[in-house]
Chains A and B, each alone.
Chain A
Amino acid sequence: MKKVFLAAAAAALSLLIISCGSKKNELHIYNWADYMNPAVIEKFEKEYNCKVVINYFDSNEALYAKLKAGAAGYDILFPTSYMSKLMFEQKMLQPIDHSKLKNLKNIDTGFVQKGLDPEMKYSVPYMMTFTGIAYNTKKVKNFKASWSMFDRADLAGRMTLLNDLREVIGAALKFNGYKYNSTDDKELETAMNTVIKWKKNIAKFDVDEAKRGLSSGEFFLIQVYNGDALQLINENPDLAFATPSEGTTLSQDDFVIPVTAKNTDLAYKFIDFMLDKENSKTNMEFVYYLSPNIPAQKLMSKEFLNDPAINPPKSVLDKSDFLKDLGENNSKYSIIWDKIKSSN
């Protein structure tokens, strides 16, 4: 018996050592699962005669912790923009050399300028995401694309807000005509009172249960990220999504190159390849998110572009903001959030 184990162990070890051998023309990307069209990746592999190895992470924070501790060997990462910013500030990312990306001109600069890296110093936008309202068209009468929906007493107990202080207080700020990222005490006070009023109408602050509840008919209206809403609508045709006319939060997932990248050249080639309009189009059709890539967007079908869960109306986009890190003022939000949570 022991001999069998020994043989198995020896075989396994030697196999592992061999498999850790040379990796010349390989690109290692670190992405979310199901977030890139495999057909586009195959096309890249053929065109550049290389192998793309995909690795997966499950949250921005986990990605950060791992790289911060020294894990290396990844050539491209896909963090959300707030995390890209933090990683760049901690010198974990390479500056982007614009001369190596001939397709960078495809990027919608108007959108990027709203973001956290307006000059694309260290990040290139991959996909845009935003927050909005998903609702059941059969149950919600007189729907209005507005944050004021959370005022509706007839929907009391059937609505949910996200369990995220910036998203919720931000929505209330917008509702009152202020801006996300406000640090003005008076404005925040008003927003707090609005959320306290909304709290009487909502069932809870949550996202996962809310999604399940909307799908099963327990909830009628939820504050939700567009990606989640898309999955829900795909399954239940009674559901719909809208971005509030007052404006909403925008975000994006980025391409970034860590300082520890081993194959920087190939990484640039890959990013440039993904920015190509045809490839970007094929990828968008699979991932079902909007990439801020103007020529690629022109190739998309009407149906795709008119989907409010993919592409918010221009009028809403203009009024929407990215959530910015407020530094010392972050505590203002947490104090208000505690008051909201403890209010009756």
Chain B
Amino acid sequence: MKRSRFPFYMTIAILVFFYLPIVIVFAQSFNASRFGGTWKGFTFDWYFKLFSDKNIWHAFTNTLIIAFSSTSVSIILGTLSAFALYKYKTKLQITHNILVYLPLVMPDILMGISLLLFFVSLKLELGLFTILLAHITFSISYVAMVVLGRFQDFDYSIFEAALDLGATWWTAVNKIMIPYLMPGIAAGGLLAFTLSLDDFVITFFVSGPGSTTLPLYIYSMMRHGSPSVINALSVIMVLFTFVVVFISKKLLEVKE
């Protein structure tokens, strides 16, 4: 029987859909034309403009602070939540499951507005801290779901065997459970990191004075700024993401 070529073409089509826009942005970031209508020659101008704009760098720093700290916190809380969901099958945990799952399907705009109303009613000053809380809120769910997937294959009897053989609970967690979950935690963390890095809608609502993040700045540049600088910035972001993914893959390979 001849194997169908359909899956092959489908894969190619999907890869083109995913990566062609990135390639175009990459090319346009070197295009001397401001709107990218026609090719007007090769230039590094947009990169020079990008590096000399201190507002962009301030926004970029904010974005990184938020992304790193929200990822670290949500990794811990998300993993704990996944552990509870895996270990206990009570009624309460079913509710817990739904609550963890909900932010994944809730529209961003709803979450943004309701978080803003919540922070305002608490009289919390809007700023980096409220953005951090918001990002942790949605990141936990992603981490929890990914780690829970890893938990499904976890043989709890190994953990119990370690306890029987004299390991303290902490040692067993440290030596058995965490190493086993590590790929899940890393994957969940990366997901949380990238989501935090490019979130616009929620961040827009919960940001306060002096806490502009990169996505907020980029959207605002649409009216008066230059799209080409945004292209240059996107290229750097994409490269940065690739490097992060690459390093984390390498790290995981060593562990396996």
A: residues with CB less than 8 A from B are 1-2, 5-6, 8-9, 12-13, 15-17, 19-20, 23, 26, 28, 32-35, 38, 53-58, 62, 65-66, 69-74, 211-213, 215-217, 227, 231-232, 234-235, 287
Contact = CB atoms under 8 A, between A and B. Distances in A.
B38 interface: yes
Contact of A55 (B33, B116, B121, B210): B210
B209 A74 contact: yes
B120 A69 contact: yes
Contact of B125 (A20, A58, A232): A20
Contact of A13 (B36, B69, B212): B69
A62 B55 CA distance: 21
A256 to B, nearest CB: 16
Given A20-B129, A35-B223, A215-B37, 5 more contacts: A8-B69, A23-B209, A32-B224, A33-B55, A55-B210
B76 A70 contact: no
A62 B121 CA distance: 20
A42 to B, nearest CB: 11
B224 A232 contact: no
Nearest to A13: B69
A318 to B, nearest CB: 28
A74 B127 CA distance: 12
Given A32-B224, A56-B217, A73 B208 contact: yes
Contact of B128 (A5, A16, A34, A35): A16
Nearest to A27: B209
Contacts of A58: 204, 216, 219-220, 222-223
B167 to A, nearest CB: 16
Contacts of A8: 68-69, 72
Contact of A66 (B37, B40, B116): B116
Contacts of B140: none
B149 interface: no
B240 interface: no
Q: In the complex, which of the residues A9, A26, A72, A227 has the most CB atoms of chain B within 10 Å of its own CB atom?
A: A9
Contacts of B128: 16, 19-20
Contacts of B209: 23, 26, 28, 53, 55, 73-74
A12 B117 contact: no
Interface in B40-76: 40, 55, 65, 68-69, 72-73, 75-76
Given A33-B55, A34-B225, A232-B35, A56 B212 contact: yes
Contacts of A23: 209-210
Contacts of A72: 120, 126
Nearest to A7: B72
Contact of A216 (B38, B126, B204): B38
B40 to A, nearest CB: 8
B232 to A, nearest CB: 15
